[in-house]
Structure 1
Amino acid sequence: MAGRNGRTVRDLRRANRRAVLQRLYFDGPLSRFELGPATGLSSGSVSNVVADLIGDGLVEEAGSVDSDGGRPRTLLRVTPDSGHMIGVDVGETRVRVELFDLTLTELARAERPLEQQRYEVDVIVDHIHAGITEVLAAAGLAPERLLGVGIGVPGIVEHTPDRGAVVHGQTIGWDAIELESLLRSGSPLPEGVPCFIDNGARTLGQAEMWFGAGRGARNALVVLFGSGVGACLVTPEAEHGRAVEWGHLTVRVRGRRCRCGALGCLEAYAGAESLLARWREEGGRVPRGADEETALTAMLAAAYPPDGTAADPVALAVLEETAEYLGAGLSDLINLFQPERILMGGWAGLQLGARFLPAVRTHALSYALRHPAENVTIELGSLGPDAVTVGAAILPLADFFARGGRRPDPDPESPPPAWHRALRERTPH
């Protein structure tokens, strides 16, 4: 039965369960007494919801605290092993797969280097399948217990009703790749375990906003600085974040050719790939055969020698120019979106770290309009190199919360998506 606002009793119960679960998840352990004002629910509703969640094994008692003149109050918390998620980061140099419990404690991980097979779709799919199998075996976990698998990828992710998630990754040579369908083919997971695919910058932003340096901000930008650059915009209208193809903003007319094919993109000057290419072009000694992370470490050591010897002037000049391009790119984001907080993450951003950030900050604020520049802070992300993987795992977790802590029920009346039918047709009878 629907009420005046169109919400059914089922909708109300789901919302109440979600409110209690999320408060316990982010602020617990809490008592039933504390949950009332924290969620806006009546004491009776809190008691009913808590009893329901305990019955489902999602919430458990976690000791007690003294109350003012009364009986001790029992504390409640989310049960860590009541759900599990897998997060996958399809990065520039490797595919990383991590298994987490419901509280995002890492239980197992697997990594597969990409090396010379970078972004070959079949290789990526095989790495993801193998990584999922490996982490489940390491933890002794049945795949049926997963709430889902989240995957962060480069490029624009289009969610279609008939083909699932389709990835448009122009810079990596992916043209409308039906990744969800490919992952379902030969998957080690049961059909009922959902797969969530999104842009890696958005999963990074999700992680920083939930658990990192973005907590408490209403308007924020989380920047991913890796082989290329991207960003995630978080506003009250897009509270879960929206990926922004910031790396392909034009910063120089008729400039360097970007790996997307256009001229003068920010990524052609500010990504680690272009940074190392410019160092090489200017005569820098880039280690032969080294991956980008190793090469960037060598460049930093050349520009900022740890032993006090003379710096490599070419490496230093390229890094300083890169800081200015990044700062100019950030100033555009500041002027466009007026965020209160900008966070820089990604493996290259973290590797350049505190030594690089002050120059980026100075250039960003000098290029931006005065008023928004005075109201923004620019800092490093706080979750380290695993932030994209953690954010990917949050995708099924957020869906689980939205369902009030219930797993999705199959809808027998809904026609199966096209990828589902295609798999059945390819299966030998």
Structure 2
Amino acid sequence: MAGRNGRTVRDLRRGNRTAVLQRLYFDGPLSRFELGPATGLSSGSVSNVVADLIADGLVEEAGSVDSDGGRPRILLRVAPGSGHMIGVDVGETRVRIGLFDLTLTELARAERPLAQQRYEVEGIVGHVRDGITEVLAGAGVGPERLLGVGIGVPGIVERMPRLGAVVHGQTIGWDAVPLEQRLRDGSQLPDSVPYFIDNGARTLGQAEMWFGGGRGARNAIVVLFGSGVGACLVTPEVEHGRAVEWGHLTVRVRGRRCRCGALGCLEAYAGAESLLARWGEEGGTLPEGADEETALAALLAGAYPPEGGAADPVALAVLEETAEYLGAGLSDLINLFQPERILIGGWAGLRLGARLLPSVRRHAAAYALRHPAGRVTIDVGRLGPEAVTVGAAILPLADFFARGGRRAGPAAEGPAPAWHTNLAQRVAH
């Protein structure tokens, strides 16, 4: 039965379970007494929800604390072993797969290096499948215990009927790749295990907002700076974040050609791939056969040698130019969205952040409007190079919480509802 606001009793119960689970997850352990004010639920509702969650194995006791003049209060927490998630980062240099328990403790990890610029679909699919098998076997976790598999990928992700997640990765040569369908074909995972595929910038943003430098912010932007650049926008209207193709804003008319084929994109000046290319074009010496991470480390060593060494002026000039382009690109985000915080992550962002951050801040302030520029902080992300993997694992976890701690069921089989059949017939005529 639905109330005046359209919510059913089932909706209310699910919402109450979600509220209790989230408070225990982020602020626990907590007592039943503390959960009331924290969730806005009555003591009776808290008791009923907690009893259900304990019966389902999702919540467990975690000791007790003394109360004022009464019996000790039992503390409650989310049970770590009551669910498992897999997070996958399809990055520029490797595919990283992690298995996590419900409290996002990593139980096992697998990595598959990628040859430079080798994004063959079947190769990536094979790496993900093999990595899932490896981490499950390594931790002794059965696939039926998974809440889902989250995957962060480069490009735009579209969800299509029957095909699931389809990836449009123009910079890596993926044109409408039905990645979810490819992963399901021949997979060892049960059909009931859902896939959550999204842009890697969004999974990075999810991690930083839940556990990193974005906690407590209402408006934030998390930047993914790797071979290319991307960003995740989080606002009250888009509370779970939305990936934006920031790297393909035009920063220089008729400028350098970007990996996407257009001219003058930010990514053509600020991504690690273009940064290293510009260093080589200006006379820098790239380590022969080195991957991007090794080459970037060599660039930094040249620009900032050990004490007493002579700095490479070409490397310094390229890095300063990159900082200016990044600052100018951030100014666009500041003017458009007026965030409270901007966090820079990704493997290249983490490597360069300590050196370039003061210059990036200065250029961002110079190019942005004064009022929004004066209200924003720009910092390096706090979660390290595994943040995209962790954020990918959060995708099924967030869905699990939104369901009130209920697992996603398989797609319903059988005939379509009568209203659907009638509507189709009316459209046909």
TM-score between both structures, scaled by the size of structure 1: 0.96
Amino acid at match of 1:128: V
Q: Aligned equivalents of 1:145 and 1:81: distance in 2?
A: 10
Residue-pair matches, total = 416
Unaligned runs of 5+ in 2: 417-429
SS of aligned partner of 1:221 = strand
* 2:99 counterpart residue number: 99
Amino acid at match of 2:80: P
* 1:425 counterpart residue number: none
* 1:243 counterpart residue number: 243
Any conservation in 2 of the 1:23–1:38 contact (CA below 8 Å)? yes
Any conservation in 1 of the 2:60–2:77 contact (CA below 8 Å)? yes
Q: Shift of residue 356 of structure 1?
A: 1.1
1:395-423 deviation digits (Å, cap 9, x = unpaired) = 0000000100011223434779xxxxxxx
* 1:348 counterpart residue number: 348
* 1:149 counterpart residue number: 149
Q: Aligned equivalents of 2:23 and 2:81: distance in 1?
A: 18
What percentage of aligned pairs have identical amino acids?
Answer: 85
* 2:212 counterpart residue number: 212
Amino acid at match of 1:311: A
SS of aligned partner of 1:306 = coil
Is 1:186 equivalent to 2:197 in the alignment? no
Any conservation in 1 of the 2:157–2:166 contact (CA below 8 Å)? yes
Q: Shift of residue 162 of structure 1?
A: 2.5
Q: Aligned equivalents of 2:29 and 2:117: distance in 1?
A: 47
* 2:422 counterpart residue number: none
1:30-73 deviation digits (Å, cap 9, x = unpaired) = 00000000000000000000000000000000000011111110
SS of aligned partner of 1:188 = coil
* 2:126 counterpart residue number: 126
Over the aligned positions, Cα root-mean-square deviation in angstroms equals 1.0
Q: What does 1:15-414 align with in structure 2 at a 5 Å threshold?
A: 15-116=15-116, 118-413=118-413
Q: Aligned equivalents of 2:200 and 2:266: distance in 1?
A: 18
Q: Shift of residue 392 of structure 1?
A: 0.2
Structure 1 residues 241, 328: closer, same or farther in 2, change over 3 A?
same
Unaligned runs of 5+ in 1: 417-429
SS of aligned partner of 1:329 = helix
Any conservation in 2 of the 1:117–1:123 contact (CA below 8 Å)? no
Q: Shift of residue 186 of structure 1?
A: 1.4
SS of aligned partner of 1:112 = strand
Q: What stretches of structure 1 move > 4 A for 4+ residues in a row?
A: 413-416
Q: Shift of residue 353 of structure 1?
A: 2.2
Q: Aligned equivalents of 2:29 and 2:221: distance in 1?
A: 30
Q: Aligned equivalents of 2:206 and 2:262: distance in 1?
A: 29
Q: Aligned equivalents of 1:290 and 1:83: distance in 2?
A: 40
TM-score between both structures, scaled by the size of structure 2: 0.96
SS of aligned partner of 2:202 = helix
Structure 1 residues 134, 191: closer, same or farther in 2, change over 3 A?
same
Q: Aligned equivalents of 1:154 and 1:413: distance in 2?
A: 33
1:282-315 deviation digits (Å, cap 9, x = unpaired) = 1100101000000000000000002321101111
Any conservation in 1 of the 2:36–2:42 contact (CA below 8 Å)? yes
